[in-house]
A and B are shown apart, each in its own frame.
Chain A
Amino acid sequence: DIQMTQSPSSLSASLGDRVTITCRASQTIRNYLNWYQQKPGKAPKLLISGASSLQSGVPSSFSGSGSGTDFTLTISSLQPEDFATYYCQQSYSTPWTFGQGTTVEIK
């Protein structure tokens, strides 16, 4: 199985801050990397697929980059609705696997 490791596990940030979350794969996954946002009690929401393709309706403040084994999710200016847990997921080979999650909290 491909292991996905996110860092940090949690972070505190203020409104308007630029936030970066990192995801590392245990082997190359080319650009087969997806990012999700999950709020408490809700299902995850797909934000970005293919490492950098923003899903329809997702604010342009979100962006993704990377290829191979190292990827980043960036929120350029943190908004109140962005406080949530973020997961990366590889879709290079089954079993599809997720990172452990990064919780973005209000400072």
Chain B
Amino acid sequence: QVQLQESGPGLVKPSETLSLTCTVSGGSISTYYWSWIRQPPGKGLEWIGYIYYSGSTNYSPSLNSRVTMSVHTSKNQFSLRLSSVTAADTAVYFCARGGTILGFDSWGQGTLVSVSS
């Protein structure tokens, strides 16, 4: 059973860069798509983008100019960087396996990132 765990700072200052890492255990990061999804407090789910184990990416157009994803196959990890954050980026950030027609079948527990000075 694959497990995912997000890690990174819980507080980021406005205009700075949010950085999160997702560690995959119980399975290989290879041969799958891996996504980041976020959920502002009390609101719905927003897909941020995905990265394939080969490194190819697909980002949501609404965030494309600020998002960078990378994969580290030797560590079984993938990462998210979101630049120039504002209070609107405050959310629980989930990493998940998936990004194809089959949906997101495994999720991390989520990590709350607050943007505040």
Partner-B contacts on A (CB < 8 A): 1, 32, 34, 36, 42-46, 49-50, 55, 87, 89, 91-92, 94-101
Contact = CB atoms under 8 A, between A and B. Distances in A.
Nearest to A92: B101
What 5 A-B pairs are tightest by C-beta distance, nearest first? Answer: A34-B103, A43-B107, A95-B60, A98-B45, A96-B47
B103 A91 contact: yes
A49 B47 contact: no
A43 B99 contact: no
Given A50-B102, A87-B44, A98-B46, 16 more contacts: A34-B104, A36-B104, A43-B96, A43-B107, A43-B108, A43-B110, A44-B45, A45-B107, A46-B105, A87-B45, A89-B103, A94-B60, A95-B60, A95-B61, A98-B44, A98-B47
B104 to A, nearest CB: 6
Contacts of A95: 47, 60-62
Contact of A96 (B94, B99, B109): B99
Interface string B93-117: 0101001111111011110000000
B30 interface: no
A50 B105 CA distance: 12
